[in-house]
Amino acid sequence: MKILVTGAAGFIGSHTCERLHDLGHDVVGLDNFNDYYSLALKTLNEKALLEKGIKIIKTDLRADNLAEALPKDINYIFHFAAQPGISASSTFEDYFTNNIIATKNLIDYALECSNLELFVNIGTSSIYGLEATFPETKAPEPASHYGVTKLAAEQLVLQKSREKLFKSCTLRLYSVIGPRERPEKMYTKLIACAYNGEAFPLYEGSATHLRSFTYVGDIVDGIVSVVGNDTKVDGEIINLGTEVEHTTQDGIEAVEQVIGQSIKIDHVKARVGDQLRTKANIDKARKLLNYNPQTTLLQGVKAQVEWYKTNFVA
């Protein structure tokens, strides 16, 4: 199969590219290499893909010439590219253009791909709102610009299934951790603080927040399992994550245990829109995709620490 992966130089996108390549697929990557976080990390991810023979087309989904920049003989599209997370440095326009306009442009391109078998939108548990413990039938109540615009993108993609224009599905991911996690995300930041002797900024009240911290390898297992299941997943929303919950404090202690030292904490003002609890309800994923995440929090943290040491510790 010939597969297009957007956001291919990012955290989960790069891992998915590698897995699809290892499964024997012809993978085409796409990324705009924006400066939301250090380009050095995206370049590092790109290098890992290039070593496997996977090339990344550098283009922006907000551009009007996608059909000219991308091949038309694509069988699957995995759409990771987005303005992520909750950040004071991101404007509503950033979320709107990167998550909605970009997705609409990619859909327009997909409609020109006559061999397209499935368009896979990568969603987020943030769509549910401040608590994400529900089955996919729960009405969304997003509490951030990120969640609102990702919901809109999701619905734009699923609309095409309803119109019978192409098969599509959306995968809502839960608190993914592991090697290549973005530098502003919790575990990479914790690890960096430990090695650099810096204080970790802990948002007020977040030590008791509950999360389905899911190892990236387990997430990718679920993502790639949709290949060949086009009819089964068409029009579906599917949660991917672990059913095991941990507090933020558990995560801090796991990093301290693996590295073998305490991490200084700097208590800072809470973020608006930050989720209080996520627990992946994966009954549907188990039924449709035989999904069964197995990696423990400690195993995931160990892998992430080793990746960080290899790449960033002198």
Mean pLDDT of 220-241: 98
Residues 34 and 168 in one domain: yes
Residues 272 and 167 in one domain: no
Mean pLDDT of 288-298: 98
Residues 142 and 73 in one domain: yes
Residue 202 CB contacts under 8 Å (≥ 6 apart), including other chains: 248, 252, 265, 266, 267, 268
pLDDT at residue 91 is higher than 80: yes
pLDDT at residue 314 is higher than 80: no
Mean pLDDT of 190-211: 92
Categorize the per-residue pLDDT at 65 as very low, low, confident or very high, splitting at 50, 70 and 90.
Answer: confident
pLDDT at residue 89 is higher than 80: no
Whether 178 maps to a domain, the answer reads: no
pLDDT at residue 274 is higher than 80: no
Which tokens hold the place of 11? Answer: 């955290």
How does the average pLDDT of the chain come out, rounded? 95
Report how many domains make up the chain. Answer: 2
Residue with tokens 């697929």: 25
CA dihedral 58, 85, 287, 78 (to 10 degrees): -10
Compute the distance between CA of residue 17 and CA of residue 79 in angstroms, rounded to an integer: 12
CB-CB contact of 280 with 214 (8 Å): yes
* Number of helices (H), then strands (E), in the chain: 12, 15
Residues 111 and 168 in one domain: yes
Domain with residue 301: its CATH number is 3.90.25.10
- Of 175-184, 204-213, 225-234, the least confident: 204-213
Categorize the per-residue pLDDT at 37 as very low, low, confident or very high, splitting at 50, 70 and 90.
Answer: confident
Which tokens hold the place of 44? Answer: 């590092």
- Pick from 248, 152, 174: which is nearest to 205 by CA? 248
How crowded is the C-beta side of 99, counted as CA atoms within 13 Å?
25
- Domain assignment of residue 83, given as a range: 2-173+216-240+284-289
Residues 95 and 126 in one domain: yes
Categorize the per-residue pLDDT at 123 as very low, low, confident or very high, splitting at 50, 70 and 90.
Answer: very high
Domain with residue 19: its CATH number is 3.40.50.720
Residues 23 and 75 in one domain: yes
Residues 190 and 114 in one domain: no
Residues 109 and 253 in one domain: no
> E strands, 66-147, where?
76-79, 118-124, 131-132
pLDDT at residue 85 is higher than 90: no
Mean pLDDT of 94-122: 97
Residues 223 and 82 in one domain: yes
pLDDT of residue 235: 98
**Does 146 participate in catalysis according to the annotation?**
yes
Task: Please pick, among 37, 146, 174, 308, the residue that the annotation labels catalytic.
Answer: 146
Which pLDDT tens digit goes with each residue over 176-200? Answer: 999 999 999 999 999 999 999 999 9
